[in-house]
Amino acid sequence: MTKLRTMHRYTSTAITLHWLLAVGLIGTFMVGIYMADLPFSPQRLKLYNWHKWAGVTILLLSVFRLVWRMRHRPPALPTALQSAMPAWQKAAYHGTHHLMYVLFLAMPLLGWAYSSAAGFPIVWFGVLPLPDFVGPDKALADMLKFMHKLSALTLAGLVIMHVGAALKHQFIDRDGLLSRMRF
Protein backbone atom coordinates (compact mmCIF):
# COMPACT_ATOMS: atom_id res chain seq x y z
CA MET A 1 0.00 0.00 0.00
CA THR A 2 1.41 3.38 -0.90
CA LYS A 3 2.14 6.10 1.62
CA LEU A 4 -0.54 8.28 0.03
CA ARG A 5 -3.21 5.64 0.65
CA THR A 6 -2.06 4.79 4.19
CA MET A 7 -2.08 8.41 5.38
CA HIS A 8 -5.86 8.44 4.92
CA ARG A 9 -6.40 5.25 6.95
CA TYR A 10 -6.80 4.83 10.68
CA THR A 11 -4.11 2.96 12.61
CA SER A 12 -4.54 -0.79 13.00
CA THR A 13 -5.13 -0.23 16.74
CA ALA A 14 -7.90 2.28 16.05
CA ILE A 15 -9.47 -0.07 13.50
CA THR A 16 -9.34 -3.01 15.91
CA LEU A 17 -10.88 -0.96 18.73
CA HIS A 18 -13.58 0.34 16.38
CA TRP A 19 -14.69 -3.14 15.36
CA LEU A 20 -14.35 -4.67 18.86
CA LEU A 21 -16.58 -1.92 20.24
CA ALA A 22 -19.01 -2.27 17.33
CA VAL A 23 -19.47 -5.99 17.93
CA GLY A 24 -19.54 -5.55 21.72
CA LEU A 25 -22.07 -2.73 21.66
CA ILE A 26 -24.41 -4.44 19.21
CA GLY A 27 -24.22 -7.77 21.06
CA THR A 28 -24.71 -6.16 24.47
CA PHE A 29 -27.62 -4.07 23.15
CA MET A 30 -29.32 -7.15 21.70
CA VAL A 31 -28.86 -9.11 24.94
CA GLY A 32 -30.20 -6.10 26.88
CA ILE A 33 -33.36 -6.02 24.77
CA TYR A 34 -33.83 -9.79 25.01
CA MET A 35 -33.27 -10.12 28.76
CA ALA A 36 -35.43 -7.17 29.79
CA ASP A 37 -38.71 -9.03 29.28
CA LEU A 38 -37.63 -12.45 30.53
CA PRO A 39 -39.34 -13.78 33.66
CA PHE A 40 -37.16 -14.13 36.73
CA SER A 41 -35.06 -17.25 36.19
CA PRO A 42 -31.46 -18.51 36.35
CA GLN A 43 -31.21 -17.75 32.61
CA ARG A 44 -32.22 -14.11 33.17
CA LEU A 45 -29.71 -13.73 36.02
CA LYS A 46 -26.99 -15.24 33.84
CA LEU A 47 -27.79 -12.82 31.00
CA TYR A 48 -27.87 -9.84 33.37
CA ASN A 49 -24.42 -10.78 34.66
CA TRP A 50 -23.12 -11.24 31.12
CA HIS A 51 -24.61 -7.85 30.17
CA LYS A 52 -22.87 -6.18 33.14
CA TRP A 53 -19.53 -7.85 32.37
CA ALA A 54 -19.81 -6.77 28.74
CA GLY A 55 -20.73 -3.23 29.84
CA VAL A 56 -17.65 -2.92 32.04
CA THR A 57 -15.49 -4.34 29.24
CA ILE A 58 -17.01 -1.83 26.80
CA LEU A 59 -16.30 0.95 29.29
CA LEU A 60 -12.63 -0.08 29.57
CA LEU A 61 -12.26 -0.45 25.80
CA SER A 62 -13.92 2.95 25.35
CA VAL A 63 -11.51 4.62 27.76
CA PHE A 64 -8.59 2.98 25.96
CA ARG A 65 -10.02 4.06 22.60
CA LEU A 66 -10.47 7.63 23.80
CA VAL A 67 -6.91 7.78 25.13
CA TRP A 68 -5.64 6.27 21.86
CA ARG A 69 -7.68 8.79 19.87
CA MET A 70 -6.34 11.72 21.91
CA ARG A 71 -2.76 10.59 21.26
CA HIS A 72 -3.25 9.63 17.59
CA ARG A 73 -5.06 12.13 15.43
CA PRO A 74 -7.47 10.56 12.95
CA PRO A 75 -6.47 10.69 9.31
CA ALA A 76 -7.67 13.74 7.44
CA LEU A 77 -10.52 13.24 5.06
CA PRO A 78 -9.22 13.16 1.49
CA THR A 79 -9.30 16.64 -0.06
CA ALA A 80 -11.70 15.60 -2.81
CA LEU A 81 -14.09 14.18 -0.23
CA GLN A 82 -13.89 17.29 1.97
CA SER A 83 -14.71 19.58 -0.93
CA ALA A 84 -17.62 17.37 -2.07
CA MET A 85 -19.15 17.01 1.40
CA PRO A 86 -21.77 19.67 2.27
CA ALA A 87 -21.26 21.60 5.51
CA TRP A 88 -24.21 19.87 7.19
CA GLN A 89 -22.64 16.45 6.52
CA LYS A 90 -19.33 17.58 8.02
CA ALA A 91 -21.18 18.88 11.09
CA ALA A 92 -23.16 15.61 11.35
CA TYR A 93 -19.94 13.60 10.93
CA HIS A 94 -18.21 15.41 13.79
CA GLY A 95 -21.29 15.73 16.02
CA THR A 96 -22.23 12.07 15.68
CA HIS A 97 -18.71 10.92 16.54
CA HIS A 98 -18.45 13.21 19.57
CA LEU A 99 -21.84 12.14 20.91
CA MET A 100 -21.01 8.46 20.37
CA TYR A 101 -17.81 8.89 22.41
CA VAL A 102 -19.83 10.52 25.22
CA LEU A 103 -22.33 7.66 25.17
CA PHE A 104 -19.59 4.99 25.00
CA LEU A 105 -18.64 6.20 28.48
CA ALA A 106 -21.98 7.40 29.88
CA MET A 107 -24.08 4.37 29.01
CA PRO A 108 -22.01 1.75 30.88
CA LEU A 109 -21.48 4.15 33.80
CA LEU A 110 -25.25 4.69 34.03
CA GLY A 111 -25.76 0.91 33.92
CA TRP A 112 -23.18 0.43 36.67
CA ALA A 113 -24.82 3.13 38.80
CA TYR A 114 -28.24 1.57 38.15
CA SER A 115 -26.96 -1.84 39.25
CA SER A 116 -25.54 -0.27 42.41
CA ALA A 117 -28.76 1.62 43.22
CA ALA A 118 -30.80 -1.53 42.57
CA GLY A 119 -28.66 -3.37 45.14
CA PHE A 120 -27.00 -5.76 42.69
CA PRO A 121 -23.23 -5.39 42.80
CA ILE A 122 -21.11 -6.15 39.76
CA VAL A 123 -18.56 -8.92 40.07
CA TRP A 124 -16.66 -8.66 36.79
CA PHE A 125 -16.54 -12.12 35.19
CA GLY A 126 -17.57 -13.54 38.56
CA VAL A 127 -14.08 -12.82 39.95
CA LEU A 128 -13.46 -9.12 40.55
CA PRO A 129 -15.99 -7.29 42.75
CA LEU A 130 -16.40 -3.70 41.57
CA PRO A 131 -17.26 -0.86 43.95
CA ASP A 132 -20.82 0.40 44.08
CA PHE A 133 -21.34 3.98 42.92
CA VAL A 134 -24.26 4.55 45.25
CA GLY A 135 -26.13 2.71 47.95
CA PRO A 136 -29.41 0.92 47.30
CA ASP A 137 -32.15 3.43 46.46
CA LYS A 138 -35.28 2.35 44.55
CA ALA A 139 -36.20 5.81 43.25
CA LEU A 140 -32.65 6.47 42.09
CA ALA A 141 -32.48 2.99 40.53
CA ASP A 142 -35.65 3.69 38.53
CA MET A 143 -34.26 6.98 37.26
CA LEU A 144 -30.88 5.45 36.38
CA LYS A 145 -32.55 2.52 34.62
CA PHE A 146 -34.46 4.98 32.45
CA MET A 147 -31.31 7.00 31.73
CA HIS A 148 -29.34 3.84 30.86
CA LYS A 149 -32.10 2.71 28.50
CA LEU A 150 -32.38 6.18 26.94
CA SER A 151 -28.62 6.37 26.40
CA ALA A 152 -28.64 2.87 24.85
CA LEU A 153 -31.46 3.77 22.47
CA THR A 154 -29.78 7.06 21.57
CA LEU A 155 -26.50 5.27 20.89
CA ALA A 156 -28.34 2.66 18.80
CA GLY A 157 -29.86 5.46 16.72
CA LEU A 158 -26.45 7.07 16.25
CA VAL A 159 -24.92 3.74 15.26
CA ILE A 160 -27.66 3.24 12.67
CA MET A 161 -26.95 6.73 11.28
CA HIS A 162 -23.21 6.02 11.32
CA VAL A 163 -23.61 2.73 9.45
CA GLY A 164 -26.09 4.30 7.02
CA ALA A 165 -23.68 7.14 6.25
CA ALA A 166 -20.78 4.70 5.76
CA LEU A 167 -22.88 2.59 3.37
CA LYS A 168 -24.00 5.71 1.49
CA HIS A 169 -20.39 6.74 1.01
CA GLN A 170 -19.46 3.22 -0.08
CA PHE A 171 -22.29 2.37 -2.48
CA ILE A 172 -23.79 5.69 -3.61
CA ASP A 173 -20.93 8.20 -3.46
CA ARG A 174 -18.29 5.51 -4.13
CA ASP A 175 -15.68 7.77 -2.53
CA GLY A 176 -13.71 5.11 -0.65
CA LEU A 177 -14.48 6.54 2.79
CA LEU A 178 -15.21 3.09 4.23
CA SER A 179 -11.74 1.84 3.31
CA ARG A 180 -10.31 4.08 6.05
CA MET A 181 -11.72 1.70 8.69
CA ARG A 182 -11.37 -1.68 6.96
CA PHE A 183 -8.86 -4.29 8.11
Give me the pLDDT at residue 4, please: 40
Residue 5 pLDDT level (bands cut at 50, 70, 90): very low
3-state secondary structure the chain: CCHHHHCCCCCHHHHHHHHHHHHHHHHHHHHHHHHHCCCCCHHHHHHHHHHHHHHHHHHHHHHHHHHHHHHCCCCCCCHHHHHHCCHHHHHHHHHHHHHHHHHHHHHHHHHHHHHHHCCCCCEECCCEECCCCCCCCHHHHHHHHHHHHHHHHHHHHHHHHHHHHHHHHHHHHCCCHHHHHCC
In this structure, what CATH number is given to the domain that contains residue 62? 1.20.950.20
Mean pLDDT of 166-174: 92
Domain enclosing residue 163, as ranges: 3-181
Q: How many domains does the chain have?
A: 1
Give me the pLDDT at residue 36, please: 92
Residue 31 pLDDT level (bands cut at 50, 70, 90): very high
Give me the pLDDT at residue 119, please: 97
Is the overall model pTM greater than 0.95, yes or no?
no
